[in-house]
Structure 1
Amino acid sequence: MFEQLFPNVRLEDIVTATNETLFMTLVSVAGTFIIGLALGLLLYLSAPGGLWQNKVLNWITSSVVNVFRAIPFIILILLLFPLTDFLVGTIRGPKAALPALIVGGAPFYARLVEIALKEVDHGVVEAAKSMGAKYSTIIFKVLLPESMPALVSGITVTAIALIGYTAVAGAIGAGGLGDFAYFYGFQRSNMDVLFLSTILIILIVFLFQFIGDLVTRKLDKR
């Protein structure tokens, strides 16, 4: 039945492409979460009235975030080719897409982290400060736990954006479903390949959204 519906698709090829997309997404989400969280904290803490209020540091961090958010992803991949080749040893394949995915996703998530932290009740932070809590305690015991539902919701949105980025990266040889859809579907006029690749990408998006919403709801009930 599969061969009848998708005559131009080999099962092993679509499984490999799906695995490559999941690999790129999961690793880039992990890297984006770590770097984006650090940047978002820096933006929040160095802002006027923040725990580490520093106008110069905030301006530099904000500028870096804004610049990398403004660069279209396809151009960012090309700009990062020298760095990618240095880090990975190649500019093709799923691993080669990771630097661009993380660099493209982290600034986006950093702004979501900043927004999430700003939603934390300022009175809770002031109460912790008045009790003599150290900055590290305020960050890890107050700010992050209080903002965790919003942080999870933000990384879910970012993960879905990164799935779209993997498809773009695939168009220039990064592998995955984007590569499969473009080279084996579009360029060869195999619409069944294009259709199946699209369905699988949509299913992956739904999966990440479901997991993210589930975790967010559980955190909200705590």
Structure 2
Amino acid sequence: MNELMGELSVAFGETFTMVSISTLGAVLLGLPLGIAIYVTDRHLFWQNRVVYLLSTVLVNIIRSVPFVILLVLLLPLTQWLLGSTIGPVAAAVPMSVAAIAFYARLVDSALREVDPGIVEAAEAFGASPMRIIATVLLPEALAGLLRGLTITLVSLIGYSAMAGIVGGGGVGDLAIRFGYYRYETEVMVITVIALVVLVQLVQTAGDWVSRRANKREKR
């Protein structure tokens, strides 16, 4: 049992590494990409049909590829960037690509829920595009952006379990090595329970933060 707890601790550390790196990628690149998709659509100040089509098609293509296949497809990119395809950091590369596309679409959806009248009023007062984004769009869409980030985090935990297939490590790898190959059912059960608890904690925390942000907006 002590050996299992030690293995589980290491596996959770690897899962945390993968999810943290890919979440950071989603925020740093997925958020701007989602904003770009929204503001280059034909109804806003930076209308650019070419940029809009290129970005939205790219996001749709990445999102349409099953993550297990995306893991394999991006192995050459991972090898080129890191010189290795093994380990949690290597697994974070395809996870980041998937997270960026996933969160970008959620950002676009959250921004579309903002009342267009507020944006038009800001434009009428002569606010610059960057000022409108920073002081109108993002604050008004904050609750939706946080909900989208929570959904992304939960999805990434599931992706991290699949990353064990290509040597990414993590809880999924532990479940496969012990629960599947060694037929140790109790290990499989423990890892599943651990993942369920982790997802519940992330979802509860995300819901609480987004509710707080929503209350602030209504004030």
Q: TM-score range by the shorter chain?
A: over 0.9
Counting only pairs closer than 5 Å after superposition, residues 122-201 of structure 1 correspond to structure 2 as 122-201=116-195
Residue 55 of structure 1 deviates from its aligned partner by 1.0
Residue 202 of structure 2 corresponds to residue 208 of structure 1: yes
Deviation at 1:90, TM superposition (A): 0.9
Deviation of 1:209 after TM superposition, in Å, equals 0.5
Alignment of 1:23-172 (within 5 A): 23-172=17-166
The alignment of Structure 1 onto Structure 2 pairs a total of residues equal to 216
Deviations 1:10-42 (A, max 9, x none): 221110001111221122112112211111111
| CA deviations over 1:190-219 (Å, ceiling 9, x no partner) | 011111111111111111111101110110
Q: What CA distance in whole angstroms lies between the structure 2 residues aligned with 1:172 and 1:196?
A: 22
Q: Give the TM-score of the pair, scaled to structure 2.
A: 0.95
> Structure 1: which 5+ residue stretches go unaligned?
none
Q: Which runs of 4+ in 1 moved over 2 A?
A: none
Offset of 1:89 from its aligned partner? 1.9
C-alpha distance in 1, partners of 2:197/2:4? 19
Query: 1:120 Cα shift?
Result: 0.5
Partner of 1:20: 14
Match for 2:170: what amino acid? G
